[in-house]
Structure 1
């Protein structure tokens, strides 16, 4: 069993979910590419540490999503907007069985039964979850809306105001061992 103490979410991260070890500690089960492994930290801690490495934090990412989206519960999180890495939760984020899916890796979903779906992801993974197709699609759509809002904001042209060259020229006068000030 591959167990790591440190890991950052990246473009190959398909999902994170909580899993208790034999001592009752909440760890993260990660599917990344074709691998699956455990991290000795909760999913929220893994997300928080990734965001901190990118100049943000979990609370800030949640506040940003709440600001950019209409009021809703269980907001998606933008982890790395430049790389298109957004995560959306399937349940309350405090629930250990919540799954954080990466938006870019969710390919299709198929209803299996009443309130149960299969989520087909990149790298050929199939994840069976207890959730209605409608509820999952609503959460996925919120993540798409967040991605669109951030993309639009990143593509917004920036306006710069260049001031004409003004100011002072300061130079040292070696003969008098002092500085002279000239207006430009």
Structure 2
């Protein structure tokens, strides 16, 4: 699996996840199919800058999700809905260890029995252990699916 280090990163269709990395300068670990990218920015900075590239601010996307999903906690973010880039947080985005997972790159997930947390299998068969329960991952997948359905509605309901 190839590795590289970058100062900037914009979430795109290849981004499987953006995670906090415990390193003094490589603050994020980004997974793409068969490669790992380390970035000097935090996951929150990366997702915020990526939202701007997608046409809105992180806060704007968050407010839209609050209204659509009628909840305020751990909201999925449509980073760039026109490109199908929807990410959901592994924990509260206020937590410095919050990671972001791409809905379309999750192949399966399961609870780590007895160990706590979950195992996420991505579309390239890579596996990531995260400190989030299987129930929470399931809820995040459901919320993100609802967000995607809402954004896709105009494609199927023509007036």
Query: How does the TM-score come out when normalised to structure 2?
Result: 0.89
Q: Which residue of 2 aligns with 1:75?
A: 75
Pair 149,124 (structure 1): closer, same or farther in 2 beyond 3 Å: same
Stretches of structure 2 lacking an aligned partner (at least 5 in a row): none
Higher relative contact order (CA 8 A, sep 6+): 2
* CA distances 1:7-60 after superposition (whole Å, capped 9, x unpaired): 1110010000112323xx572110012111111111111111111122211001
By percentage of residues, which structure has more strand? 1
Stretches of structure 1 lacking an aligned partner (at least 5 in a row): 159-184
- Tell me if the contact between 1:26 and 1:96 (Cα under 8 Å) persists in the aligned partners: no
Q: Which residue of 2 aligns with 1:21?
A: 23
- Tell me if the contact between 2:55 and 2:80 (Cα under 8 Å) persists in the aligned partners: no
Query: How does the TM-score come out when normalised to structure 1?
Result: 0.78
* CA distances 1:63-96 after superposition (whole Å, capped 9, x unpaired): 1111111224110000111221100001111222
- Tell me if the contact between 2:91 and 2:132 (Cα under 8 Å) persists in the aligned partners: no
Q: Which residue of 2 aligns with 1:175?
A: none
* Farther-moved stretch of structure 1 (146-155 vs 99-108): 146-155
Q: CA RMSD in A?
A: 1.8
Q: How many residues align?
A: 156
